[in-house]
Amino acid sequence: MTLTDLLKEKQVKFMLLGGKGGVGKTSCSAATAIWAAEHGLKTLIISTDPAHSLSDSFDQQIGSEIKKIKGVKNLYGLELDPHKSFEEYREKMEQDDLPEKTQSLLQGLGGLTGMTPPGADEALAFAKVLEYIENPEYDLVIFDTAPTGHTLRLLSLPDVLSGWVMNLLKIREFFGKFAGLFKRLISRGGEVERGMEVLEHLKNTIDVARIELSDPESTAFVIVMIAEAMAVFETERLLSALNEYEIPCDHIIVNMVYPEILDCAFCRSRRNMQLENLKEIREIYDDFNITEVPLFDVEIRGVEKLKELSKILFGEA
């Protein structure tokens, strides 16, 4: 099954692209988003990497609010600003104008106890995952993830939060016997009762997210790598975690493959090294769908260059 089949025939709703830093994840994510949007899918691309490069890739400012991508019909972009958005969400917590699932998650993380929540970066990213899983207004949501370590923490959040929420529920139940004192200590009015509802809703939402993200009919994780030994090691680590969290993954993009340039000794050396690694990659991942992308002679930036990349990714070049 090619990337084209994944989007046109299988019609997955969520696609996450991840891998080692510097392998071209954002370019591949942006090019995939452009291809999907141009083929009739209302598409949202979200950067969950604190060091955003989505604006640079599209060569237009995106930022922390959903914006229409200029020059591409049906395509929207969002760069999560974890620190700014997390504080804004907490300030708005008592207003009821946030989506319920986001409100639930953030109340569970920071508004109900003095316990230290999981990392704000991953928590906010996961809040967005929950938001679009529960109320999918887009045909496809693409997550341009951060380098491997950050992504692994993001993917582990359902398990971490589920256990964390269960502990909070037990605490709530215990202190429910002392509701009056509990209200005076940490809440106002009916906040204790509402807090129990919030936590119950959060637990259910996390369970739904876990099911959705592990459903191969809904979700696909695409690994982006380069043909170098360190990238192979990093890919093994990522795949091991994906298997552990039951995130479906059977596509690999091998990016930046050197072309054959006979009159350049350096280029020949780099290409020969990559060819050896490509041989190993094909042997190790013989049951994966592997897409090879050549190294461009210019920076891949702006919609037109991303369209060129998309044609390669989807076999139209």
CA 29 from centre of chain: 10
Which domains are present in the chain? 3-313 (3.40.50.300)
Other C-beta atoms closer than 10 Å to the C-beta of 175 total 16
User: pLDDT tens across 290-307, in order?
Assistant: 999 999 999 999 999 999
Give CA–CA dist 210/197, Å, rounded: 20
Residue 265, pLDDT score: 93
Average pLDDT over the chain, rounded to whole? 79
- Max mean pLDDT range (47-51, 171-175, 193-197, 310-314): 310-314
Tokens of 182: 């509990």
Instruction: Kindly tell me if the per-residue pLDDT of 215 is higher than 60.
Output: yes
Average pLDDT estimate for 6-25: 90
Q: What is the mean pLDDT of residues 26-52?
A: 92
- pLDDT given at position 80: 79
Please state, in angstroms and as integers, the Cα–Cα distance from residue 94 to each residue in 90, 100, 111, 121, 274, following that order.
8, 12, 10, 22, 55
Would the pLDDT of 192 be above 60?
no
What pLDDT was estimated at residue 287? 93
SS (H, E, C) 79-116: ECCHHHHHHHHHHCCCCCCCCHHHHHHHHHHHHCCCCC
Is pLDDT at 185 greater than 80 in this prediction? no
Give the predicted TM-score (pTM) of the model: 0.78
> Which candidate, 140, 134, 132, 136, places its Cα nearest to that of 204?
134
At 62 the pLDDT is 94
Q: What is the pLDDT of residues 134-153, one digit of tens each?
A: 667 899 999 998 776 666 66
pLDDT bin (cut points 50, 70, 90) of residue 112 is very low
pLDDT at 221 over 60: yes
> What's the rounded Cα separation, in Å, for the pair 64 and 94?
21
Q: Is the pLDDT of residue 127 over 50?
A: yes
Average pLDDT over residues 225-254: 90
State residue 93's pLDDT score.
46
